[in-house]
Amino acid sequence: MLSPLLFLLAQSATPYGSPVDPLLRPSEVRPAVPAQAEPSAPSTDPADPAEIRFNACVNEAIDDPENGVFAANRWQIEGGGYLARHCLGFAYAEQQDWPKATKAFATAAQEAESAGDERAANLWAQAGNAALANGDYADAQNHLARALRQEKLGGLLKGEVHLDLARVYVANNQYEEAKREFAQVHTLVPQDPLGWLLSATLARRMADLTLAKADIIAAEKLAPGDPAVALEAGNIAYAAGDTANAQKFWKQAVAQDSESEPARAAKKYLAQLEQGPPTPETP
């Protein structure tokens, strides 16, 4: 099942006027994984004292983010460089302090790039992801583009960067650009159900219901039983004038996880349908 999303209201033809839309999900941020976990990163010596300390710092940030911030700052004072800043960004991300996480990741990325460390690409990606979570779309786009320019990202992370860029373009109402980014996502990470769900939502918003239906079917195959997918399937059916299937899918969303955010939205839509034709809302 997809993780719960922080949804953004967007204009659309649903009984409630604006469906709960998962195109921007700042609470569901890609984990700031240690750089050596990225396939494109250079090999590191596990016995290297700096790498050992970095791993210990990240583990501390996972266990207690506040202590992680303290440990990373102390390491910076002692000359830990961009590895210390990377850990600091990780700790801030664990606290969901996105402005500070963005700054720490971006600074670490600049220093890693200056040092010729290929992990700079991963760090720029993390900086962009944190900026997106903060709603700072200009910085997010700049950092993500810089991550791609390194030409060092592996397929999975590269796909996630394109997914984040798609979200940036959606936030800026640049739908055609977002559509192109989703095409990259589907090529690089075709097994990611979230990519298909979000592209289906975008296609619906662009009134391309044929594409929306195809993409939501792909999402459902990869994440069967997920209420967010069922909710969007209902939204697409309703937009196509198929009220019967809209009700069916929304009921599925409720049955799959009645306390989830998508299920709560589906309940509202079902209630609206039971009350009769909706009153159009002012955009």
Question: pLDDT, tens digit, for every residue of 193-216?
Answer: 999 999 999 999 999 999 999 999
Cα–Cα distance list, 246 to 23, 190, 220, 237, 282 (Å): 20, 26, 15, 5, 23
Long-range CB contacts for residues 164-169, cutoff 8 Å, separation at least 24: 164/30, 164/125, 164/128, 164/129, 164/132, 164/140, 165/141, 166/198, 166/199, 166/202, 167/23, 167/24, 167/25, 167/132, 167/198, 168/132, 168/137, 168/140, 168/141, 168/144
Q: How many domains is the chain built from?
A: 1
Of 190, 159, 182, 93, nearest to 132 by C-alpha is 93
Are the CB atoms for 51 and 45 separated by under 8 Å?
yes
Task: Provide the domain limits for residue 267.
Answer: 191-275
Query: Is residue 92 domain-resident?
Result: no
Selected residue with higher pLDDT from 83 and 13: 83
Query: Is residue 48 domain-resident?
Result: no
What is the model's pTM? 0.81
pLDDT average, residue stretch 79-96: 96
pLDDT average, residue stretch 2-30: 37
Query: Is residue 89 domain-resident?
Result: no
Residue 4 pLDDT class (50, 70, 90 cuts): very low
Of 260, 265, 208, nearest to 239 by C-alpha is 208
CATH number of residue 233's parent domain: 1.25.40.10
pLDDT of 168 over the 70 cut: yes
Residue 9 pLDDT class (50, 70, 90 cuts): very low
pLDDT average, residue stretch 249-272: 95
Query: Is residue 117 domain-resident?
Result: no
Query: Is residue 240 domain-resident?
Result: yes
pLDDT of 3 over the 50 cut: no
Query: Is residue 245 domain-resident?
Result: yes
Q: In the prediction, which pLDDT does 119 show?
A: 93
pLDDT average, residue stretch 96-121: 96
Query: Is residue 76 domain-resident?
Result: no
Query: Is residue 86 domain-resident?
Result: no
Burial code (b: 16+ CB inside 10 Å, e: under 16) for 220-235 equals: bebbeebbbbbbbbbb
pLDDT of 181 over the 50 cut: yes
